[in-house]
Structure 1
Amino acid sequence: MTTNYKDLITILGQDIPLGTSTEINFNIARLHTASDINVPIIVERSKIEGPTILFNACLHGDEINGVDIVRQLIANKINRPKRGTVICIPILNILGFLNGSRAFPDGRDLNRVFPGSSNGSLASRVAHKLIHEVIPEVDLIVDFHTGGASRFNAAQVRIVKDNPELKELAQVFGAPFVLYSKHIAKSFRNACFQLNKPMVLFEGGRSSFIDDNISKIGVEGAKRLLAHYDMLDEAHKVNKPKSKSIFVEKSSWIRARRSGMFKSIIKINSKIEVGSIIGQITDPYGKIHQPVKSTYAGYVINVNEAPLVYQGDALFHIATKLHDKK
């Protein structure tokens, strides 16, 4: 992590000296009723200089498990560093959050419009403001996500391959899985990469749902990262992960061979073999009962929790090729 410690940082035009606790309003829009829509940004600066870490959640408005993680960091005062600066944005896509929608009101996916434009769509303008008026002051971003729709993700960190710094940070975070994942064009992660700002992207749980275990893993991972940079206050205990992260180089999806009522009979994180029965598809009339068998050996890192599926729907995501991290 390249750092340039500053006595004074500037976020959205507001100067913030060392030893300051403040909340900044990120104005993203004005409603038809002339009411302003603001995203609170909570900034905690120690009196001692050090790195600046951003904990961000709810880039997609329905991914609220990440909101709970950042909320806990604030509520338990984990975000008050003994040195350096911690910035928390619990809800970036506040309009999507209020509407229970993944996208912005303009229909755009915020995570596909970066680095944005000052004259573009609403989502593009928010992305542009974030990239130009917040991210330049940040040394490391931790971005919290969940699985989309009804698909439940195992707790995992996603990084690009062949990046020793991100590999080390992923190991420090200590999620059960680390997936090597290429950058996606116009994503927040790719935009930060272009600015030489490292990002640890955490995925866990599913949209419109809060899972306590996922929240716990996210909070503990954040504490480990802060401790890694000697930023965590001594009042907070750091717990070692139960096991070392499993690095995943390749993964594959198992899809429904027919439409029907679906039920998984395997738990997330489970290790399976080829031919393992991992779910079942039935019809409402009791005439069909089709077992879902795995065509891969590996770990289950995503399960579709929808009760009804169509032929071709993704049911399970299987980590099929593991990477030796030594």
Structure 2
Amino acid sequence: MPNSKMELLGQAILPGKGFLLNLDIAKLHTGTKIEVPIIVQRGKKPGPVLLITGGIHGNEINGVEIIRQLISKKYNRPDCGTVICIPVVNIFGFLNQTRQFPDGRDLNRVFPGSPRGSLASRFAYHIMKEIAPMVDYCIDYHTGAESRFNAPQTRVNKDDIESKELAKVFGAPFVVLANTREKSFREALANMGKKVLLFEGGKSLDINDRVTQSGISGALRVMDHLGMRSFAEELKSMEGRSLQPVTIESSQWVRAKYSGMFHPFIALGSHVKKGDLLGSVSDPFGNFERIIKAAANGHVICINQSPIVNQGDAIFHISQE
């Protein structure tokens, strides 16, 4: 969208300027304000508006780290267009290192929200009303839950041609064609016609350098592709240069058939063939060890890193070819 005139949260955003704003829409029962810092950088020339978000789930720290580095290294300062960074959307979940919003709800399951709904729903409503309308593109950073470590991947709707092309530009090892979850932030933005890349990498309450690097370089490639700023030199010096991503149209979880101590044998991101050994589950007393084999060919896009699993736990996420 042309950015000749822009106003965000009552603040005029002038060309070539940066602003630190706070989204303040509610208080807790203690009177503590829920203030979410928003870092806005506008280029001197017109161009698209890119929203970069992390921490919608408060315990997904790696996304916060990616955006922190984008800001600290001044990569969020475009020559053309505007970059809006919200490193920690769920600020109280982040403080408490929990996934949920303070009212116990999953913020990513209440969009587009309601001005008269729950605390999380009201917060979602204000994001959609005050920020989302001016956005053209969004990169939303997430991680796997609990002990499930995701290979770096972008998720897009299979029918969204432009978003699929942007996912390839992003350059994560995998592009997962996945329908939007009902009432998620991605669905709400998509329903407004916005282009959204959802990045998954790593696990909750963890920071991984490889995941961080993938998330940073992907954002730079997207900004470069959109004509917001050239990052040719920066990308040339970064490790993990852009590869042709593997596109995944369907996948399935391998679940533990026994409870016990879990030993994965394969590396995350590797390609396996039917019959390959994936890992084993054994009891702690040396009485048994059950081998887990691949049921079909595919790439391993998530591994459960818990040393102990229960029967039925998801332990490997593998694409279906």
Look up the equivalent residue of 2:264 and give its one-letter code: S
**SS of equivalent to 2:286:** coil
Q: Distance in 1 between matches of 2:319 and 2:102?
A: 35
Q: Distance in 1 between matches of 2:272 and 2:28?
A: 50
Q: Which residue in the other structure is 1:318 paired with?
A: 318
Q: Distance in 2 between matches of 1:204 and 1:234?
A: 22
Q: Distance in 1 between matches of 2:25 and 2:55?
A: 14
How far 1:236 sits from its partner (Å)? 5.1
8 A Cα contact 1:154 1:269, kept in partner: yes
**SS of equivalent to 1:8:** coil
Determine which of 229, 235, 240 is the counterpart of 1:238. 235
Check 1:63–1:163 CA distance in 2 against 1; reply closer, same or farther (3 A cut). same
1:20 aligns with 2:17: yes
Normalising by structure 2, we get a TM-score of 0.96
**SS of equivalent to 2:6:** strand
Check 1:301–1:243 CA distance in 2 against 1; reply closer, same or farther (3 A cut). same
Q: Which residue in the other structure is 1:107 paired with?
A: 104
Deviation string 1:80-112 (CA, Å, 9 cap, x unpaired) is: 111111110000001111111111121111111
Q: Which residue in the other structure is 1:126 paired with?
A: 123
1:152 aligns with 2:149: yes
8 A Cα contact 2:221 2:231, kept in partner: no
Q: Which residue in the other structure is 1:324 paired with?
A: none
- Unpaired segments ≥5 residues, structure 2: none
Look up the equivalent residue of 1:246 and give its one-letter code: V
Q: Which residue in the other structure is 1:49 paired with?
A: 46
Q: Which residue in the other structure is 1:9 paired with?
A: 6
Look up the equivalent residue of 1:56 and give its one-letter code: T
**SS of equivalent to 1:204:** strand
Q: Which residue in the other structure is 1:214 paired with?
A: 211
Look up the equivalent residue of 1:58 and give its one-letter code: G
8 A Cα contact 1:73 1:79, kept in partner: yes
Q: Distance in 2 between matches of 1:33 and 1:247?
A: 48
Deviation string 1:252-303 (CA, Å, 9 cap, x unpaired) is: 1111001011121211001111111111111111112111111121110000
Q: Distance in 1 between matches of 2:235 and 2:270?
A: 26
Q: Which residue in the other structure is 1:164 paired with?
A: 161
- Unpaired segments ≥5 residues, structure 1: 322-326
Q: Which residue in the other structure is 1:72 paired with?
A: 69
**SS of equivalent to 2:263:** strand
**SS of equivalent to 2:234:** coil
Q: Distance in 2 between matches of 1:221 and 1:7?
A: 28
How far 1:320 sits from its partner (Å)? 1.3
Q: Which residue in the other structure is 2:248 paired with?
A: 248
Deviation string 1:36-68 (CA, Å, 9 cap, x unpaired) is: 231100000111111110110011111111001
How far 1:233 sits from its partner (Å)? 4.8
Number of paired residues?
318
Normalising by structure 1, we get a TM-score of 0.94
Matches within 5 A, 1:267-278: 267-278=267-278
8 A Cα contact 2:114 2:125, kept in partner: yes
Look up the equivalent residue of 1:278 and give its one-letter code: L
